[in-house]
Structure 1
Amino acid sequence: MKKKRFTAYFLASGIGIMALAGYGPMVNAASHSSSSTSSKKVIGVTLMTLTNPYFSTMGAALQKYGAQAGYKVVVDGANMSESQMLQQVDSFIEQHVAAVVMAPPDASAAPSAVVALNKAKIPVFTIDTNVDMSVLKKMGGKIVEFVQSNNYKGGVIVGQEMVQYLHGHGDIGIVDYKLAQSVLTRDAGFYSVIDKYHGIKVVSDLNGEGSTPGGLEAASEMLSANPDIKAIYDINAPSGLGAVQAIEAAHKVGKVAVIGFSGSRQAVEAVKKNTVFKYGVMQEPTLEAKIEMGNIVKYLHGKSVPAKILTPVFKIDKQDAAKYLPIAYH
């Protein structure tokens, strides 16, 4: 019955840490309903997946910082499935949780879940990747706060690294995941750089599903179809590591490089080794979680919080990879 109720509603409904210094509009909880019951001490979290170490690290950090503030934090992984995320949101509504944190696997499908939470008077916070805000606005929904790494700047850094590696000329492939808003923002930053270099051509852009197996499959396919590819841009560490495996399997080590987002310990180690993974960009999921949970607690206590917060990203290369290993996620 619970699933049927939510599904019916769903079908019918049809950046530096700049904000910490006060950037962006502020939102407060003056009109937010609160309760002293035990259920109001629970915060629900639905992340696009927990098999990616980025999100498992983020989930554990949200639980840690929530517990420090006296909240029980329930973390679910949606396994890259929007339908699973919707079911998890429905469960949180049934539990009357104090707030919900979302990192949706599909930005365009997520607004209906936000509207359902709004209707239940449960404040919504997004982290790492947002819902499609243009769709949400049309539906009359709202989120309280969005915390993410500076994905556009990260994309710019990767673009600069790509130009440097290729000296402005060469065919490249992209292991992508266009369903996530965060990835679209990274891609925009990347293209803002490489579009200025007409000698660099994107000859393949395939969905790597944000995973190592997906990255392996996508990179293998593009290398087979485009033997002149000189480098692959990856949108996250798991897919980048999959691309490394594909290059090794194709016996193209030294001929094809991986350049992209690389914040996991394994990816940073690969950049340090520098045989295939040449350059990277690092994010800090623990920092995002700390800021998000801190502001959720503030909001639930009637205080104002920024509508958007951007956390820093860092360029990783062979020379400084060792310096960043201590803060790389597992």
Structure 2
Amino acid sequence: MMAMASLITLVAGCGAVTTSSPGSATSNSSKSSKPVIGMTLMTLTNPYFSEMASSAKADAAKLGMKLEYEGANFSQATQLSQVDAFIQQHVSAVMIAPADAGSAGTLVLALNKAHIPVFTIDTNVEPSSYKSQGGHIVEFVQSNNYKAGVIAGQEMVKYLHGHGHIGWLDFPLATSVLQRDAGFESVIKKYPGIKVVSRLNGKGTTPGGLSATADMLEAHPHIKAIFDINAPCGLGAVDAIRAAHKVGQVAVIGLSGSEQAVSAIQNNSVYKYGVMQEPELESKIEIHSIYNYLHGKKVKPLILTSVFRITKQDAAHYAPLAYK
């Protein structure tokens, strides 16, 4: 809680902002006495994002704003339609966690054209998709994904004692995942005894993680561990390992901040180590930033929140922070 308070104070304590940028707060055409904030997330089926949305809505209300949120079901076309609806509604600002980071520049440019400030959360829009056309994002808030990948890599090395075949559940459409990938790879590449024998798209979902892990285990029966890029993927991997009767033979290590994942780490039969993020903190910071921006204050272009290593020994300690 102290970290949350200090970060919010940091955001709130900035000075005046210029009003000439494409996303200038003073240029918005909304005439509502209560600012309306639009939020479109890549999905709401992942509890990470559903908690982020509900927390943002509550925090916005406390500040006298109204938040309307949507899930895009991992569809760029759906997200574009949602952004268009927010533009027609003349909202005061829009928060985006893009379904496809590489193509989401169209969302940013459309909002810029409508003079609606853009804020991104968890996953950023690929800069090359909008900056060359003069696009502008006010602020991006995310957990320290590179560090999360580094921690997962360290735990993987420790678990395998530097040797063994591993599988990798990926989701390359999200820049946040690419950062986790980079952090993980920066560690394991130093250990030639650890070999990635399969790297498949787990689609960021439990069914995707289950299917990809089942394929890995069938094609590479000597895999000793699976790296997952989020809790739903990891839980799918756990299900696949149980179905293949490989409990005690294959471990899951990776991003694991949901209640179910933290509980699985505490049980420790398959999910051995994890890394926790705080979606509630990310959304709280961004909502306060939007409030400050709309009131003429500067906000930071990038804010990183902390991540935490989770082991069997401290899982109970971190359980209250887990998202549902």
TM-score range, shorter chain: over 0.9
User: Are residues 36 and 172 of structure 1, via their aligned partners in 2, closer, same or farther at CA, if it must alter by over 3 Å?
Assistant: closer
What secondary structure, in the 3-state scheme, does the structure 2 residue paired with 1:38 have? coil
User: Are residues 127 and 255 of structure 1, via their aligned partners in 2, closer, same or farther at CA, if it must alter by over 3 Å?
Assistant: same
Query: 5 Å matches for 1:268-307?
Result: 268-307=262-301
User: Are residues 124 and 73 of structure 1, via their aligned partners in 2, closer, same or farther at CA, if it must alter by over 3 Å?
Assistant: same
State whether structure 2 residue 193 is matched by structure 1 residue 199. Answer: yes
The amino acid that maps onto 1:232 is I
Which of the numbers 48, 52, 56 marks the counterpart of 2:50? 56
Residue 67 of structure 2 corresponds to 73
Task: Provide the C-alpha distance between the structure 1 equivalents of 2:17 and 2:250, rounded to a whole number of angstroms.
Answer: 50
Instruction: Spell out, residue by residue over 1:147-198, the C-alpha distance to the aligned partner (whole angstroms, 9 max, x if none).
Output: 0000000000000000000000000001110000000000000000000000
Aligned 8 A contact 1:39 1:95 in 2: no
What secondary structure, in the 3-state scheme, does the structure 2 residue paired with 1:179 have? coil
What secondary structure, in the 3-state scheme, does the structure 2 residue paired with 1:305 have? coil
Aligned 8 A contact 1:150 1:310 in 2: yes
What secondary structure, in the 3-state scheme, does the structure 2 residue paired with 1:306 have? coil
- In the TM superposition, residue 83 of structure 1 has moved relative to its aligned partner by 0.7
Residue 5 of structure 1 corresponds to none
Instruction: Spell out, residue by residue over 1:250-301, the C-alpha distance to the aligned partner (whole angstroms, 9 max, x if none).
Output: 0000000000000000000000000000000000000001000000000001
User: Are residues 230 and 221 of structure 1, via their aligned partners in 2, closer, same or farther at CA, if it must alter by over 3 Å?
Assistant: same
Task: Provide the C-alpha distance between the structure 2 equivalents of 1:79 and 1:185, rounded to a whole number of angstroms.
Answer: 22
Instruction: Spell out, residue by residue over 1:77-127, the C-alpha distance to the aligned partner (whole angstroms, 9 max, x if none).
Output: 000111100000010011110000000011001011100100000000000
Task: Provide the C-alpha distance between the structure 2 equivalents of 1:234 and 1:150, rounded to a whole number of angstroms.
Answer: 16
Root mean square deviation of aligned Cα:
1.8
How does the TM-score come out when normalised to structure 2? 0.93
Task: Provide the C-alpha distance between the structure 1 equivalents of 2:56 and 2:189, rounded to a whole number of angstroms.
Answer: 38
User: Are residues 293 and 235 of structure 1, via their aligned partners in 2, closer, same or farther at CA, if it must alter by over 3 Å?
Assistant: same
For structure 2, the 5+ residue unaligned runs are: none
Residue 164 of structure 1 corresponds to 158
Aligned 8 A contact 1:19 1:306 in 2: no
Count, aligned residues: 313
Residue 123 of structure 1 corresponds to 117
Identity %: 64
The amino acid that maps onto 1:80 is F
Task: Provide the C-alpha distance between the structure 2 equivalents of 1:180 and 1:19, rounded to a whole number of angstroms.
Answer: 25
- In the TM superposition, residue 36 of structure 1 has moved relative to its aligned partner by 6.7
Task: Provide the C-alpha distance between the structure 2 equivalents of 1:82 and 1:228, rounded to a whole number of angstroms.
Answer: 37
Which of the numbers 255, 258, 262 marks the counterpart of 2:252? 258
Residue 142 of structure 1 corresponds to 136
For structure 1, the 5+ residue unaligned runs are: 1-15
Aligned 8 A contact 2:34 2:64 in 1: no
User: Are residues 89 and 26 of structure 1, via their aligned partners in 2, closer, same or farther at CA, if it must alter by over 3 Å?
Assistant: farther
Which of the numbers 237, 248, 266 marks the counterpart of 2:242? 248
Task: Provide the C-alpha distance between the structure 2 equivalents of 1:55 and 1:170, rounded to a whole number of angstroms.
Answer: 33
Query: 5 Å matches for 1:20-59?
Result: 28=17, 30-31=19-20, 32=24, 33-34=27-28, 37-38=31-32, 41-59=35-53
- In the TM superposition, residue 19 of structure 1 has moved relative to its aligned partner by 7.7
Runs of 4+ in 1 over 6 A off after TM superposition: 16-20
Aligned 8 A contact 2:16 2:296 in 1: no
Which of the numbers 224, 229, 233 marks the counterpart of 1:235? 229
- In the TM superposition, residue 137 of structure 1 has moved relative to its aligned partner by 1.4
What secondary structure, in the 3-state scheme, does the structure 1 residue paired with 2:94 have? strand
